[in-house]
């Protein structure tokens, strides 16, 4: 495959738009919108098995089917559709699920057999990721960000023939929400672009009622209701109570991160904050909440994937509002159900670079993770140090771009491997949008941020250059043999504007 | 300054190589209870190689050797004398054990013409409390560590949050230490998940006169450092007392008062001791 | 007859040594790509220092740093000596 270089010196397939800078394309282009596909406000036909849906909609070879990932690793909808594709021996299908989890293992067979030949997604983990990195997907895997996916759908770039929208509770008109029912999952932010723009919309539910309490899914866009016994496994849907970490190294990282945010003056009235759902991210939130309480600070909002921890912060008066693109646990779902200040945001409202004022662009501070980071502060969250595909941007690139202060937290060294590299294996988020790296052995500030460096002149925090951190790591571990990317390209990583920031290569290890 | 001492099992590489990340004032490399019998040799070799890296700066390096009666005691002492460590911690300490250890160490120190290696005995048996003053008086003893868990076992009782069962032991260790100007170090708080319980226990120990506390998990270090750090208020007050004393001496006065309170010699001495601790 | 030292926990390694007519080192490691050569070299250096010309050494590594590899090798060799 012919390749050309993008502005980060990464090779990308010829014929695709190369990444040219975080603002390059967005500032030069206007938002492109195809027409919304509205159907009608009346009762919708209710089907009881997937087969009738395939018949009624004439789902055939080469079509694009889409899904959201609010049911996470408890999802039952994708597998239901896969089984039907397999039964009908459909070929060359394109799937556009917003994320793929280990529960979607049945997809592997269909990929190998050519039933599915192309996939668009924002995050991928498990057997399907392994199958793709081994080169079984006939066409390229296309990875977008949480903000890039709605951009691609609303502009017509990804043309969805049928959107299967899992909705935990809906009425006979197709109006629904994710907060009621046995498979409740909370907000349905990722489903909105599919709902508005797909040619046909099928709401898939296991809880059909006369009246819904809240309308998060507008039935006027819906064509069919597929009523099945179960749309998923509640245990897999809720990640369980996500708690702050107890690992002393992560706790040290968290403590220093909170200190840094405080020293930079961000912990003040009106704070707009986002952090991940992992143990370290929540530990940072915990430390920040202590400082906020001490200083009597009330933040404006906390956003992102919402956990019970953030709900507690809000209920304790630390944040006025919660902007929620997905719920991670039961407490978050309950809070969304009863609290008017807990607000759902669609993926566009969250992170679409062309949306007027997405929440991601309103952030003061965001705390993010990394599998690798390089001397230019480019961050990898798509592949691990060994080249396995195990993640994807999700909202990483979007929030890194939009937040005034973007902080990456990670161990410096894990099992002899340094997380700081000369070059990351895959660039997910460009270094120009990343400001600070906090590790257990030191904190590095992106030299572009002379303002932050100046503010921290007299700080007692362990500040050093990222080159120093790399040296520290190599002093401990020895200098590793670094692997260069080569071989068959199995996928592309798209920046939020649709340009190609890097490629995914066939896994070459043992 | 000793406020927090962190126990690290000597046979666990993951913990050894991260020892330098935490803010403990001292690290106690454990060759005793944390290491199973069959691994004592491996622990010694690993600690040996780790110490050669010299990564720990400004931290007191302490080794908890196996007790006098164990088959590992001699090899442990041999290793300790070869290692760049500061202090030896002796479990199941009794006065006679201290004397024996002192004898052995003294022989080597004389031969190698090196400074005396201080010892911290662990007071963890009922009978050792009846000679804790003698133990504290020994010139080689730098500080006393109370081993609350083993002591409770010796007494046949459960450890409790209030610590009533070890109250006498805590106090005896404090009195013995103070009598001979040695430091009194409190026993670890074993419920790692309870920050509140640790805080309570540390505050209690401080009120009794302990000036430091050992711990078994890095997550406990911050609370302990904070508790045993004199507060800014206490430091400021001590500074004022010392200043006022200097002034009084200059004016040929003996006693003086501060904020309406008579400041006598014991108070002045406490103030000076505190400022010394803060300085170190 | 053989002897081992170490564990398969993260950041540790399990080293097994056997008497042999030749010098052979087999490396299994979670970081083989990045550090495989270095691990083998470290073991070779240690054996050279101990003036051991022939031995069969096997290492199952979970990301151990050099000092750990040295220590585990030393312990295993000492244990082998004791068995003899």
Query: Chain C: nearest CA to A4, how far in angstroms?
Result: 28
Query: Quick check: A509 contacting C, CB < 8 Å?
Result: yes
DSSP H helices in A358-428: 396-402
Interatomic CA distance for residues B20 and A288, integer angstroms = 25
- CB–CB of B141/B120 below 8 Å? yes
Enter the tokens of residue B67: 């007790």
- CB–CB of B46/C65 below 8 Å? no
HEC letters along B146-214: ECHHHHHHHHCCCCCCCCHHHHHHHHHHHHHHHHCCCEEEECCCCCCCCHHHHHHHHHHHHHHCCCEEE
User: Would the CB atoms of A440 and B18 count as touching at under 8 Å?
Assistant: yes
List B143's β-bridge partners, or say none: B183
User: Would the CB atoms of C65 and B12 count as touching at under 8 Å?
Assistant: no
Q: Which of B12, B41, B52 sits opposite C75 (nearest CB)?
A: B41
pLDDT the model gives residue A12: 94
Query: Quick check: A356 contacting C, CB < 8 Å?
Result: no
Of A357-361, B60-64, B192-196, C43-47, give the lowest mean pLDDT range: B192-196
Q: Which of B14, B41, B46 sits opposite C10 (nearest CB)?
A: B14
pLDDT the model gives residue C22: 96
Q: Is A326 helix (H, G, I), strand (E, B) or coil?
A: strand
Mean per-residue pLDDT over chain B, rounded: 93
Q: Please give the backbone phi and psi of residue B15, each rounded to the nearest 5 degrees, phi first.
A: -80, -40
Residues in C closer than 8 angstroms to B50, CB to CB, are: 67, 71
What are the residues whose beta carbons fall under 8 Å from the beta carbon of A504, sequence distance 6 or more?
A: A132, A133, A141, A143, A382, A383, A389, A426, A489, A490, A491, A492, A493
User: Would the CB atoms of A252 and B21 count as touching at under 8 Å?
Assistant: yes
Residues in B closer than 8 angstroms to C5, CB to CB, are: 42, 45
For B219, name the nearest residue in chain A, comparing CA atoms only: A248
User: Would the CB atoms of A440 and B21 count as touching at under 8 Å?
Assistant: yes
Q: Which of B17, B18, B219 sits opposite A251 (nearest CB)?
A: B219
pLDDT the model gives residue B259: 84
Q: For B197-213, what is each residue's pLDDT tens digit?
A: 999 999 999 999 999 99
Interatomic CA distance for residues A163 and B104, integer angstroms = 81
Q: Which of C9, C68, C78 sits opposite B46 (nearest CB)?
A: C68
Q: Which chains touch C (3 or more CB pairs under 8 A)?
A: A, B
Query: Quick check: C80 contacting B, CB < 8 Å?
Result: no
| Residues B173-186 as b or e (16 or more Cβ within 10 Å = b) | bbbbbeebebbbbb
Query: Quick check: A415 contacting C, CB < 8 Å?
Result: yes
The CA-to-CA distance between both ends of chain A, in Å, stands at 24
B4-228 under CATH 3.20.20.60, yes or no: yes
User: Would the CB atoms of B17 and A476 count as touching at under 8 Å?
Assistant: yes
Query: Quick check: C42 contacting B, CB < 8 Å?
Result: no
User: Would the CB atoms of A477 and C35 count as touching at under 8 Å?
Assistant: yes
User: Would the CB atoms of A416 and C10 count as touching at under 8 Å?
Assistant: no
Query: Quick check: B45 contacting C, CB < 8 Å?
Result: yes
Sheet holding A489-494, edge to edge: A46-47, A224-227, A200-205, A162-166, A64-67, A93-97, A116-121, A141-143, A489-494, A500-505
B vs C, Cβ pairs < 8 A, gives 43
Q: Which of A477, A478, A509 sits opposite C33 (nearest CB)?
A: A509
Q: Please give the backbone phi and psi of residue A101, each rounded to the nearest 5 degrees, phi first.
A: -120, 170
Of the pLDDT bands very low, low, confident and very high (cuts 50, 70, 90), residue B268 is confident
Query: Chain A: nearest CA to B21, how far in angstroms?
Result: 7
Q: Which domains does chain A carry?
A: 32-237 (3.40.1080.10), 248-484 (3.40.1080.10)
| Predicted structure pTM score | 0.92
Query: Quick check: A247 contacting C, CB < 8 Å?
Result: no
Please state the rounded mean pLDDT for residues B178-194.
95
Q: For B68-87, what is each residue's pLDDT tens digit?
A: 999 999 999 999 999 999 99
Residues of chain A with pLDDT under 70: 1, 239-241, 510
What are the residues whose beta carbons fall under 8 Å from the beta carbon of A279, sequence distance 6 or more?
A: A242, A243, A244, A245, A246, A247, A250
The segment(s) of chain B belonging to CATH 3.20.20.60 are: 4-228
Residues in B closer than 8 angstroms to C11, CB to CB, are: 13-14, 17
Q: Which chains touch B (3 or more CB pairs under 8 A)?
A: A, C
User: Would the CB atoms of A248 and B217 count as touching at under 8 Å?
Assistant: yes
pLDDT the model gives residue A1: 67
Cα–Cα separations (whole angstroms), residue B192 to B195, B198, B200, B216, B223 = 7, 8, 13, 8, 12
């Amino acid at each position: 495959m012919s390749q050309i270089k993008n502005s980060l010196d990464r090779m990308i397939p010829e014929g695709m738009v190369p990444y040219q800078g975080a603002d390059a394309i967005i500032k030069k282009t206007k938002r492109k919108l195809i027409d919304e596909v509205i159907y009608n406000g009346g009762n919708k036909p209710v089907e009881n098995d997937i087969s009738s849906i395939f018949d009624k909609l004439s789902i055939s070879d080469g079509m694009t089917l889409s899904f959201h990932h609010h049911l996470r690793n408890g999802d039952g909808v994708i597998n239901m559709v896969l089984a039907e594709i397999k039964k009908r021996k459909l070929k060359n299908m394109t799937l556009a699920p917003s994320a793929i989890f280990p529960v979607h293992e049945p997809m592997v067979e269909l990929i190998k057999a050519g039933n599915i030949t192309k996939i668009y997604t924002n995050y991928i983990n498990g057997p399907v990721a392994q199958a793709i990195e081994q080169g079984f997907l006939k066409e390229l895997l296309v990875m977008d960000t949480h903000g890039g996916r709605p951009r691609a759908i609303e502009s017509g770039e990804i043309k969805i023939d049928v959107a299967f929208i899992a909705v935990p509770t809906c009425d006979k008109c197709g109006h629904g929400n994710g907060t009621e029912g046995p498979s409740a999952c909370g907000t349905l932010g990722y489903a909105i672009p599919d709902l508005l723009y797909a040619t046909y919309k099928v709401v898939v539910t296991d809880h059909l009622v006369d009246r819904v309490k809240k309308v998060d899914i507008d039935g006027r866009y819906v064509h069919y209701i597929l009523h099945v016994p179960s749309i998923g496994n509640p245990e897999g849907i809720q990640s369980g109570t996500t708690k702050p970490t107890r690992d002393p190294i992560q706790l040290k990282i968290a403590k220093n991160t909170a200190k840094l945010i405080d020293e930079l003056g961000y912990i003040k009235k009106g704070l707009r904050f986002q952090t991940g759902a992992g143990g370290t991210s929540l530990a940072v939130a915990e430390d920040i909440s202590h400082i906020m309480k001490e200083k009597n600070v009330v933040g404006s909002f906390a956003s992102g994937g919402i956990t019970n921890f953030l709900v507690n912060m809000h209920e304790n008066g630390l944040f006025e509002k919660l902007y929620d693109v997905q719920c991670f646990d039961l407490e978050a779902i309950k809070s969304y159900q009863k609290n008017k200040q807990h607000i759902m945001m669609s993926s566009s409202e969250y992170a679409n670079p062309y949306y007027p004022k997405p929440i991601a662009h309103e952030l003061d501070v965001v705390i993010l993770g990394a599998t690798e980071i390089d001397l230019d502060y480019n961050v990898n969250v798509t592949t691990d140090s060994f080249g396995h595909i195990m993640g994807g941007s999700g909202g990483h690139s979007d929030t890194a771009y939009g937040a005034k202060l973007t902080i990456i937290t990670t161990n410096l060294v894990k099992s002899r491997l340094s997380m700081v590299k000369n070059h990351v294996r895959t660039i997910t988020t460009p270094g120009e949008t990343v400001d600070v790296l906090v590790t257990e052995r030191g904190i590095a500030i992106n030299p572009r941020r002379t303002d932050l460096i100046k503010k921290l002149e007299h700080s007692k925090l362990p500040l050093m250059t990222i080159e120093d951190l790399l040296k520290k790591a190599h002093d401990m571990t020895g200098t590793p043999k670094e692997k260069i990317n080569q071989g068959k390209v199995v996928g592309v990583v798209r920046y939020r504007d649709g340009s190609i920031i890097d490629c995914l290569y066939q896994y070459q290890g043992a | 300054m000793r406020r927090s001492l962190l126990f690290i099992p000597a046979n666990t590489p993951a913990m050894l190589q991260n020892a330098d990340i935490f803010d403990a004032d001292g690290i106690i490399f454990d060759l005793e209870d944390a290491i199973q019998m069959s691994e004592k040799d491996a622990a010694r070799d690993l600690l040996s190689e780790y110490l050669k890296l010299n990564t720990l700066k400004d931290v007191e390096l302490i080794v908890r050797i196996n007790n006098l009666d164990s088959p590992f005691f001699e090899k442990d002492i041999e290793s300790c004398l070869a290692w760049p460590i500061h202090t030896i911690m002796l479990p199941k300490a009794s006065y006679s054990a201290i004397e024996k250890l002192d004898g052995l160490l003294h022989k080597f120190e004389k031969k190698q013409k090196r400074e005396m290696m201080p010892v911290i005995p662990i007071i963890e048996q009922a009978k050792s409390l009846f000679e804790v003053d003698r133990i504290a008086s020994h010139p080689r003893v730098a500080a006393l560590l109370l081993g609350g868990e083993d002591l409770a076992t010796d007494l046949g009782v459960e450890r409790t949050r209030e610590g009533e069962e070890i109250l006498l032991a805590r106090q005896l260790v404090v009195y013995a230490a103070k009598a001979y100007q040695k430091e009194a170090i409190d026993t670890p708080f074993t419920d790692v998940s309870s920050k509140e319980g640790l805080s309570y226990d540390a505050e209690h120990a401080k009120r009794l006169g302990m000036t430091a506390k050992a711990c078994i998990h890095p997550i406990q270090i911050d609370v302990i450092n904070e508790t045993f750090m004199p507060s800014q208020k206490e430091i400021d007050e001590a500074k004022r007392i010392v200043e006022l004393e200097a002034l009084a001496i200059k004016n040929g006065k003996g006693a003086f008062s501060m904020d309406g309170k008579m400041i006598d010699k014991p108070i002045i001495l406490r103030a000076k001791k505190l400022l010394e601790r803060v300085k170190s | 007859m053989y002897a081992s030292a170490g564990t398969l926990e993260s950041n540790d390694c399990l080293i097994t040594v056997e008497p042999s007519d030749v010098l052979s080192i087999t490396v299994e490691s979670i970081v083989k790509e990045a550090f495989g050569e270095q691990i083998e070299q470290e073991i070779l250096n240690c054996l050279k220092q101990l003036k051991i010309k022939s031995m069969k050494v096997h290492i199952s590594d979970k990301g151990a740093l050099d000092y750990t590899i040295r220590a585990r090798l030393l312990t295993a060799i000492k244990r082998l000596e004791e068995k003899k």
